[in-house]
């Protein structure tokens, strides 16, 4: 039996539209995030808000243009897939997205090139298939700019996982300690301790590699 | 990355379009009944058929057991059956509009006080017979009035906790709950205040040519005592809200079902005739060449909320008085904007919006707004750098933008050029259905798929650059879709008159497309609140125009200043908005 006027689910079309308008104005809030997997307007607002930051996130970890494009698409596809499981208590939309990105980038690093080549991508397309020559130069530039970050990232690979995760999110992705804590699922205090330890270890590591001390003051530029 | 260099956005724009399509598919699939052809089947995202469904969640399993014994399988009338639903609560399936008092008892056992009235065809309860109210659900959201209708068949009511209901919705999406185990609407006894109750009335209604082939039901939330339902003839279409010129088929209580006097066959015949008119129309304009612009002029009327007494959103220095809001204190106004857009072949646009009328629901609201200094809607804040006043003192917002389709803005012209011009093939292409898959008959306009198809067909009709053959095919395809209503002599909010296609889409929004029957030209497209939508926004009558776009002009021009410019318009020369 067809329904005319009955609720399609827990959410009305008017509220859907109003929240899409609000999302364009104020960003996709934690309350709205769970709908981005089924609501194109909300998704667009979320995408526009996050795509630039996410591409930098990926470029800091991946030195290959096609893989970066693939991963960017995969992260959003994974976000679309799991948005309905998002709970506002577990962090902001940004930390949630970066949490997904961390996992996918880590998985990607474990896969061999051949494995990757054999995959069609989540929804039957690969992000890299959307690249054209104009994009290539621009994305390469972004990847080159992130080379230093990637070297740091590689050095960070030698840190214990728990410490590396926090440092990475704070130092590379400029999340606050509280956000980073939420993204990896620990308390702020714990994250702070891990961050301190990670920095100390990394400094020792880099100093050993460079053969000279590294200035204490952090350069965030 | 994107320092204003527009060509740079390409990958991001393409990815956005691609991902958005994925989301749109999932959104549609989430409530799609039919299984797609083998290539696209995705069982996880299948959802039950939209049904004439009422759901309610019950608090205690013990209650459910009692119901089964006393009202369920043993019920000899089989007017309804009550069964426990997975995860708690009960589900009430209503087979016929009989035994109202039995249903009241069943709901009472489940923890919901109610008044149920089944009426003869064409009758409704005299309103008001109770004070309408809204149930605020735990965890946000609310439940107000819901109007349901459609062909005959079981109607399902469930009763259970809101949390359980929300979880079950997700479980269903993941394929862990079958269609029959999920209700579309949930009543949560815990969410009802002691003075709140459910008022349910229904009557047989015409469907598919049978005067009693379907049914229509209203579910409302009452606060305090409920007077008995006094059956009265269903009112004709009401008058328009907000002091707008009366529009036949619009206004409080209006549901765009169309003119009941016209049979489906008659409506199809009219639309096929319009299709022939459209197909013989003037030839298509080419997209703008370099140096040219596509110019469109529309008048958009949008329902917006206003929070009086300083509750406006935004900073103190920059308050935003008109905010989309469901705040119970919100006053609603219909805000009219004249929108002109010049688009160059690269997809860059100059947009000029001129603020038109602001019309409130009541004089008191209007006075309250005036007392607050008649603040303009937020998008017309004079302190914004791109907002000016034109020679007539009207607020004008003039800015540069980009069509989200980016440089491929006009590529859809070629896509449309490739679209089938045979009506059924066009519809199947829109629905991405292949022969040999599931049945290929059109879904009713009230269903999710049917509604989506109708919207896509209307998009074709409202495209500024589209071939007559394709417009004809779109009208002809509409003719075959069940559930399309038709109205003659309908006016838009600006007073232009034409004939209209009207239907209610699942989810409760009413839609209306007004066109000139002599030329097939589209005059306006409107959506109006309906049923549950109206009830969610206290003070907004059912049938209120939520958004209407009137299509005034479209054509190719050689300059972004070409078109009607207000006298002394300072905007065009100082605007940062020039597409190059």
The reported pLDDT for the residue numbered B524 is 93
| Averaged pLDDT for residues B149-169 | 69
The sheet carrying B186-187 orders its strands as B80-84, B90-94, B155-159, B186-187
Which range of A98-102, A205-209, B64-68, B472-476 scores highest in mean pLDDT? It is B472-476
Q: Could B10 and A40 be called an inter-chain contact, meaning their C-beta atoms sit closer than 8 Å?
A: no
Is A8 a member of any domain?
no
The residue with greater pLDDT, B131 or A111, is B131
Q: Which residue has the higher pLDDT, B574 or A20?
A: A20
H helix or E strand, kind and range, residue B497? strand B497-504
Q: Does any domain span residue A205? A: yes
Counting residues of chain B whose pLDDT is more than 90, the rounded percentage is 6
Same-domain status, A169 and A135: no
Q: Flag whether B26 is in a domain.
A: no
Which of A85, A115, A145 terminates a domain? The answer is: A145
Same-domain check for residues A117 and A169: no
In a domain, A166, yes or no: yes
Distance CA B558, CA B576 (A): 19
pLDDT digits (tens, 9 = 90+) for B161-192: 877 777 776 676 666 766 566 665 778 888 89
Query: Helix, strand, coil proportions of chain B in percent (round to 5)?
Result: 25, 30, 45
Residue A76 confidence (pLDDT): 92
Provide the mean pLDDT of chain A: 73
Q: Which chain B residues touch A60 with a CB distance below 8 Å?
A: none
pLDDT digits (tens, 9 = 90+) for B364-402: 777 877 777 777 776 777 766 778 887 777 888 888 876
Q: Does B273 share its domain with B334?
A: no
Q: CA of B505 to nearest chain A CA: how many angstroms apart? A: 6
Longest dimension (CA), chain B: 79
Which of B:441-500 have CB within 8 Å of A? 444, 446-448, 483
Residues B307 and B417 in one domain: no
pTM (global) more than 0.90: no
- Among the residue ranges A136-140, B76-80, B95-99, B238-242, the one predicted with the least confidence is B238-242
Same domain as A140, residue A39: yes
Asked if A6 lies within 8 A of B53 by C-beta distance, the reply is: yes
**Which has more confidence, A184 or B29?**
A184
Residue B30, in any domain of the structure: no
Kindly state whether residues B140 and B202 are assigned to the same domain.
yes
A6 interaction partners in chain B (CB closer than 8 Å): 50-54, 146-148, 184-185, 506, 508, 531-532
Distance CA B222, CA B159 (A): 17
In a domain, B254, yes or no: no
CB contact under 8 A, A6 and B148: yes
Please give, rounded to a whole number of angstroms, the shortest distance from the CA of B405 to a CA of chain A.
12
Last residue of a domain, one of B215, B233, B251: B233
**Helix H or strand E encompassing B266:** helix B264-279
Residues B473 and B499 in one domain: yes
In a domain, B314, yes or no: yes
Which of A22-36, A195-209, B68-82 holds the top average pLDDT? A195-209
Q: Is residue A191 part of a domain?
A: yes
Q: Which runs of E-coded beta strand occur in B97-251?
A: 114-118, 123-125, 131-132, 135-136, 142-143, 146-151, 155-159, 186-187, 196-207, 210-223, 231-233
Residue at B56 is within a domain = no
Residue A1 inside a domain? The answer is no
Show the domain range for A100: 13-145
At B223, give phi and psi (nearest 5°).
-120, 120
Whether A7 maps to a domain, the answer reads no
CA angle B449, B215, B264 (to 5 degrees): 60
pLDDT digits (tens, 9 = 90+) for B431-474: 776 655 555 778 777 776 777 788 888 888 988 888 899 999 99
Whether residues B121 and B190 share a domain: the answer is yes
Taking only residues 139 to 198 of chain B, the set having a beta carbon closer than 8 angstroms to any beta carbon of chain A reads 140-141, 146-155, 165-166, 169-170, 173, 184-186
Q: Residue A207's domain is classified under what CATH number?
A: 1.10.10.10
Say which residue, B178 or A56, is predicted with more confidence.
Answer: A56
Largest CA distance in chain A: 76
Predicted confidence at residue B474, as pLDDT, reads 94
Query: B114 is written with which tokens?
Result: 């109610």
**A174 and A98 housed in the same domain:** no
Cα B338 to the chain's mean position, in Å? Answer: 22
- Quick one: B142 and B216 in the same domain? yes
Bridging pattern class, strands B196-207 and B114-118: parallel
Asked if B275 and B148 sit in the same domain, the reply is no
> A198 to chain B, minimum CA–CA distance in Å?
30
**The domain boundary residue, chosen from A145, A168, A192:** A145
Q: How far is A153 from chain B (nearest CA, A)?
A: 21
Between A and B, how many residue pairs show a Cβ–Cβ distance under 8 A?
185
Strand partners, B198: B114, B221
Residue B85 and residue B185 in one domain: yes
Residue B341 has pLDDT above 80, yes or no: yes
Residues B400 and B414 occupy one common structural domain: no
The count of domains in chain B is 3
Look at residues B106, B115, B196, B122 and name the one whose alpha carbon lies nearest to residue B158: B106
pLDDT at B172: 65
Q: Which domain holds residue B481?
A: 264-285+410-543
Residue of chain B with shortest Cα separation from A31 = B140
- B565 pLDDT higher than 50: no
Look over chain B and give the mean of its residue pLDDT values, rounded to a whole number.
Answer: 69
Domain identity same for B175 and B218: yes
Do B469 and B421 touch, CB atoms closer than 8 A? yes
Domains contained in chain A, number? 2
What pLDDT score was predicted for residue A11? 47
Half-sphere exposure of B136 (CA within 13 A, CB side): 7
Q: Please state, in angstroms and rounded to a whole number, the distance separating the CA atoms of residues B391 and B385.
A: 17
Residue B532: pLDDT above 90? Answer: no
Asked whether residue B539 is domain-assigned, the answer is yes
Here the contacts of B370-373 (C-beta below 8 Å, separation 24 or greater) are B372/B308, B372/B321
Is the residue at A3 inside a domain?
A: no
Of residues B391, B423, B302, the one with CA closest to residue B570? B391
Phi-psi sector, B336: left (phi>0), alpha (psi -120 to 50), beta? beta
Instruction: Please report the beta strands in B54-105, taking only residues with DSSP state E, as ranges in sequence order.
Output: 80-84, 90-94
Question: Residue B143: which residues within 8 A CB-CB, separation 6 or more?
Answer: B134, B135, B137, B185, B186, B187, B191, B221, B532
The answer to whether residue B565 sits within a structural domain is yes
d(CA B252, CA B543): 5
Residues of B in contact with A125 (CB under 8 A): 18
- Hey, is the C-beta of A148 within 8 angstroms of any chain B C-beta? no
Q: CB contact, 8 Å: B51 with chain A?
A: yes
């Amino acid at each position: 039996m067809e329904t005319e006027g009955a609720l399609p689910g827990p959410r009305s079309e008017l509220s859907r539209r109003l929240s899409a308008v609000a999302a364009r104005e104020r960003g996709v809030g934690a309350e709205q995030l769970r709908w981005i997997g089924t609501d194109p307007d909300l998704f667009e607002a979320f995408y526009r808000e996050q795509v630039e930051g996410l591409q930098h996130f990926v470029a800091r970890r991946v030195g290959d243009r096609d893989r970066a494009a693939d991963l960017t698409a995969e992260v959003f596809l994974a976000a679309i897939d799991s948005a309905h499981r998002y709970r506002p208590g577990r962090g902001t939309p940004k930390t949630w997205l970066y949490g997904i990105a961390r996992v996918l980038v880590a998985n990607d690093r474990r896969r061999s090139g051949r494995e990757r080549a054999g995959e069609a991508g989540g929804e039957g397309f690969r992000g890299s298939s959307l690249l054209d020559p104009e994009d290539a130069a621009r994305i390469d530039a972004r990847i080159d700019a992130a080379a230093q970050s990637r070297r740091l990232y590689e050095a960070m690979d030698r840190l214990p996982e728990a410490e590396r995760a926090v440092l990475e999110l704070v130092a590379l992705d400029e999340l606050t300690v509280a956000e980073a804590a939420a993204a990896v699922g620990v308390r702020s205090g714990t994250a702070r301790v891990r961050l301190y330890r990670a920095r100390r270890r990394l400094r020792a590591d880099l100093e050993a590699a460079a053969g000279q001390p590294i200035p204490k003051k952090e350069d965030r530029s | 990355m994107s320092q204003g260099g527009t060509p740079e956005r390409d990958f991001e724009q393409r990815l956005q379009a691609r991902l958005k399509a994925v989301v749109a598919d999932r959104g549609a699939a989430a409530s799609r009944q039919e299984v797609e052809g083998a290539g696209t089947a995705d069982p996880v995202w299948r959802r039950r058929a939209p049904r004439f469904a009422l759901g309610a969640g019950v608090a205690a399993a013990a209650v459910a057991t009692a119901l089964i014994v006393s009202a369920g399988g043993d019920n000899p009338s089989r007017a309804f059956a009550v069964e426990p639903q997975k995860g708690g609560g009960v589900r009430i399936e209503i087979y016929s509009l009989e035994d109202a008092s039995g249903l009241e008892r069943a709901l009472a056992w489940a923890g919901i006080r109610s008044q149920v009235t089944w009426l003869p065809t064409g009758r409704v309860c005299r309103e008001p017979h109770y004070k309408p109210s809204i149930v605020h659900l735990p965890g946000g959201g609310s439940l107000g009035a819901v109007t349901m209708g459609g062909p005959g068949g079981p109607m399902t009511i469930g009763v259970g906790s809101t949390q359980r209901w929300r979880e079950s919705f997700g479980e269903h999406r993941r394929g862990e709950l079958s269609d029959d185990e999920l209700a579309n609407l949930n009543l949560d006894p815990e969410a009802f205040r002691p003075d709140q109750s459910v008022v349910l009335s229904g009557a047989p209604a015409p469907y598919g040519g049978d005067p009693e082939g379907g049914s229509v039901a209203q579910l409302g939330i009452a606060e305090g005592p409920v007077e008995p339902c006094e059956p009265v003839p269903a009112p004709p279409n009401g008058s328009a809200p907000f002091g707008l010129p009366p529009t036949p088929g619009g206004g409080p209580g209006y549901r765009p079902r169309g003119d009941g006097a016209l049979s489906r066959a008659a409506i199809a015949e009219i639309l096929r005739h319009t299709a022939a008119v459209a197909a013989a129309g003037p030839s298509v304009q080419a997209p703008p060449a370099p140096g040219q612009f596509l110019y469109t002029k529309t008048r958009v009327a949008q329902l917006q909320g206003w929070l009086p007494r300083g509750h406006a959103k935004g900073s103190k220095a920059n308050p935003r008085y008109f905010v989309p809001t469901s705040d119970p204190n919100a006053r609603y106004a219909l805000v009219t904007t004249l929108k002109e857009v010049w688009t160059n072949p690269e997809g860059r646009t100059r947009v000029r919006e001129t603020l038109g009328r602001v019309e409130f629901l009541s004089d008191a609201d209007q006075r309250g707004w005036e007392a607050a200094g008649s603040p303009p809607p937020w998008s017309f804040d004079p302190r914004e750098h791109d907002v000016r006043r034109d020679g007539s003192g009207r607020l004008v917002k003039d800015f540069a933008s980009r069509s989200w389709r980016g440089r491929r803005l006009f590529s859809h012209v070629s896509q449309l050029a490739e679209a089938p011009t045979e009506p059924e093939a066009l519809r199947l292409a829109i629905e991405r259905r292949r022969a040999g898959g599931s049945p290929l008959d059109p879904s009713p306009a009230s269903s999710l798929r049917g509604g989506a198809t109708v919207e896509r067909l209307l998009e074709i009709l409202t495209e500024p650059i589209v071939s007559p053959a394709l417009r004809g095919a779109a009208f002809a395809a509409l003719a075959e879709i069940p559930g399309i209503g038709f109205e003659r002599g309908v006016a838009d909010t600006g007073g232009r008159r034409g004939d209209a296609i009207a239907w209610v889409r699942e989810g409760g929004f009413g839609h209306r497309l007004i066109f000139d029957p002599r030329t097939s030209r589209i005059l306006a497209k409107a959506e109006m609140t309906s049923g549950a939508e109206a009830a969610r926004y206290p003070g907004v009558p059912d049938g209120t125009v939520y958004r209407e776009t009137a299509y005034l002009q479209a054509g190719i021009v050689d300059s972004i200043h070409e078109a009607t410019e207000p006298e002394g318009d300072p905007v065009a020369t100082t605007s940062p908005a020039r597409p190059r």
